[in-house]
């Protein structure tokens, strides 16, 4: 049970000073710019929950710096905020990319106390391609096991607007992503596509964290995938909620996240408050 003081921080913005920032910290050796992370922490306090943010970019682009106002918003509410880079296709496979993120989580867990974080209260969030990988690292426990960690250190998962939680189903159903692009990222092998699909790894008793799945209401691709993922999680007794963001685009659902009066943001903070009370 988390203390009343910390829950107050999560419920009400602190309007704190600028975060303490550590940039370009290597989470793997030898140091590679694509395997570094940035830490934004409150100026004081300890055992704070940690948001781990995974940027999007189609598995081929993007950067940890594209966090907009999120670090300050989350730090004001008593969180530590961490954003990581990872390597890209075609230089590595999706499996290696998610392996990078598991290494970043291991670094966060090992060093959490140094920046006032709780190593066993990590919430994984990601947008677009980052959402696919967030969902995968939170369901396929082999990635964290390779780093000698358990899914039990994760308190929640918030994937934001992705249509690749079940890749073979997505291929069958069709959508606005070309077959050539899907092949380039996920290969054309169904077994590999299934292995990269979060739904394929959902099972009871794995300590899979609670999910809040956000998607753009008007996107025909992301809605069915979001509900399909939630249905599979619920069937395995994992708490899951889908929120359709009205009036948003694939870009603005991300850029507006954390802003006052943003409905997905209100759902997000309610979700975080709930999972951190457990």
What's the token pair of residue 155? 């308190």
Q: Is the dihedral of CA 32, 33, 35, 40 positive or negative?
A: positive
What's the token pair of residue 47? 């055992």
Interval 11-62: pLDDT, tens: 455 555 789 999 999 999 999 999 999 999 999 999 999 999 999 999 999 9
Higher-confidence position of 7 and 54: 54
- In this prediction, residue 17 carries a pLDDT of 75
How large is the average pLDDT for residues 196-207?
A: 98
- In this prediction, residue 5 carries a pLDDT of 38
- Is residue 96 very low, low, confident or very high in pLDDT (cuts 50, 70, 90)? very high
The residue behind tokens 């994760």 is: 154
Q: Where are the beta strands (DSSP E) in 114-246?
A: 117-127, 154-160, 210-216, 240-245
What's the token pair of residue 262? 């943003």
- Is residue 158 very low, low, confident or very high in pLDDT (cuts 50, 70, 90)? very high
* Contact between 17 and 70 (Cβ < 8 Å): no
- In this prediction, residue 1 carries a pLDDT of 39
CATH code of residue 181: 3.40.50.1820
SS3 10: helix
Q: Report the number of distinct structural domains present in the chain.
A: 1
**Is residue 260 over pLDDT 60?**
yes
* Contact between 201 and 168 (Cβ < 8 Å): no
pTM over 0.75: yes
- In this prediction, residue 14 carries a pLDDT of 53
Strand partners for 212: 241
Q: Cα separations (Å) of 9 from 73, 90, 200, 210?
A: 12, 42, 36, 21
Higher-confidence position of 17 and 272: 272
Query: Helices 263-277 and 4-11: crossing angle, nearest 10°?
Result: 170
Alpha-carbon gap, residue 144 to 119, rounded angstroms: 14
Residue ranges making up the domain that contains 133: 4-277
Q: What is the DSSP letter of 152?
A: G
Q: Where are the beta strands (DSSP E) in the chain?
A: 20-26, 36-41, 48-54, 80-84, 117-127, 154-160, 210-216, 240-245
């Amino acid at each position: 049970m988390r203390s009343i003081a910390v829950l107050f921080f999560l419920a009400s913005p602190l309007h704190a000073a600028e975060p303490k920032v550590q940039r370009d910290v290597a989470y793997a050796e030898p140091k590679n710019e694509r395997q570094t992370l940035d830490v934004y922490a409150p100026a004081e306090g300890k055992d704070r929950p940690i948001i781990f943010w995974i940027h999007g970019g189609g598995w081929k682009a993007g950067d940890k710096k594209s966090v907009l106002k999120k670090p300050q918003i989350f730090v004001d509410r008593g969180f530590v905020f961490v954003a990581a880079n990872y390597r890209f296709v075609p230089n590595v496979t999706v499996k290696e990319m998610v392996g990078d993120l598991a290494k970043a989580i291991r670094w966060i867990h090992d060093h959490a106390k140094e920046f006032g974080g709780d190593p066993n209260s990590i919430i994984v969030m990601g947008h677009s391609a980052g959402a696919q990988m967030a969902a995968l690292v939170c369901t396929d426990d082999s990635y964290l096991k390779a780093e000698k960690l358990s899914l039990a250190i994760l308190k929640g998962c918030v994937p934001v607007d992705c249509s690749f939680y079940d890749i073979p189903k997505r291929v069958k159903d069709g959508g606005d992503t070309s077959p050539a692009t899907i092949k380039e990222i996920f290969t054309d092998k169904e077994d590999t596509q299934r292995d990269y699909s979060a739904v394929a790894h959902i099972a009871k008793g794995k300590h899979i964290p609670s999910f809040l799945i956000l998607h753009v209401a008007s996107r025909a691709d992301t809605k069915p995938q979001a509900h399909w993922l939630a249905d599979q999680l619920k069937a395995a007794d994992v708490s899951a909620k889908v929120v359709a963001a009205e009036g948003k685009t694939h870009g603005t659902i991300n850029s507006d996240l954390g802003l006052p009066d943003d409905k997905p943001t209100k759902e997000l903070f309610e979700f975080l408050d709930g999972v951190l009370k457990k």
